[in-house]
């Protein structure tokens, strides 16, 4: 099952985000097979203000277990996290789903 995770940083968290980022990337590397797409949300000035990840987990409970290990949550970078199930159909121009 695929999920889209949209996470928004708290106000004035850019410096904290940058400090925590190596741990965030290391954590993601540990679950690389589950990541379909991931990247930072940018403000109008091109500065990171949040994250979007499309990930594959067997169910919502497994995703929630991952989120408990997410450094941006543990270190209180993300203020708001939205999760929705998703049906991934096309990746890099190739049909992968239905």
48-85 pLDDT, tens per residue? 999 999 999 999 999 999 999 999 999 999 999 999 99
Residues 37, 15: Cα–Cα separation, whole Å: 24
Residues 28, 84: Cα–Cα separation, whole Å: 19
> Does residue 32 have a pLDDT over 90?
no
What the block records as the tokens of 16 is 């904290």
pLDDT given for residue 59 in this prediction? 96
- Name the CATH architecture for the domain at 2-88: 2-Layer Sandwich (3.30)
Q: Are 88 and 2 in contact (CB under 8 A)?
A: yes
Q: Average pLDDT, whole number, for the chain?
A: 94
Residues 26, 46: Cα–Cα separation, whole Å: 23
The residues spanned by each domain of the chain are 2-88
Strand-strand pairing, 78-86 and 2-9: antiparallel
pLDDT given for residue 94 in this prediction? 86
> Does residue 98 have a pLDDT over 90?
no
Residues 6+ apart with CB under 8 A from 97: 2, 87, 88, 89, 90
pTM of the model: 0.89
């Amino acid at each position: 099952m695929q999920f889209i995770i949209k996470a928004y940083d708290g106000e004035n968290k850019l410096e904290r985000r940058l400090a925590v980022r190596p741990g965030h990337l290391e954590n993601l590397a540990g679950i690389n097979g589950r990541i379909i797409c991931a990247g930072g949300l940018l403000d109008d000035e091109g500065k990171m203000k949040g994250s979007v990840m499309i990930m594959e987990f067997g169910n919502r409970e497994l995703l929630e277990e991952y989120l408990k290990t997410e450094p941006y949550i543990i270190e209180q970078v993300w203020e708001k996290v939205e999760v929705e199930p998703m049906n991934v159909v096309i990746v890099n121009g190739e049909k992968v789903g239905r």
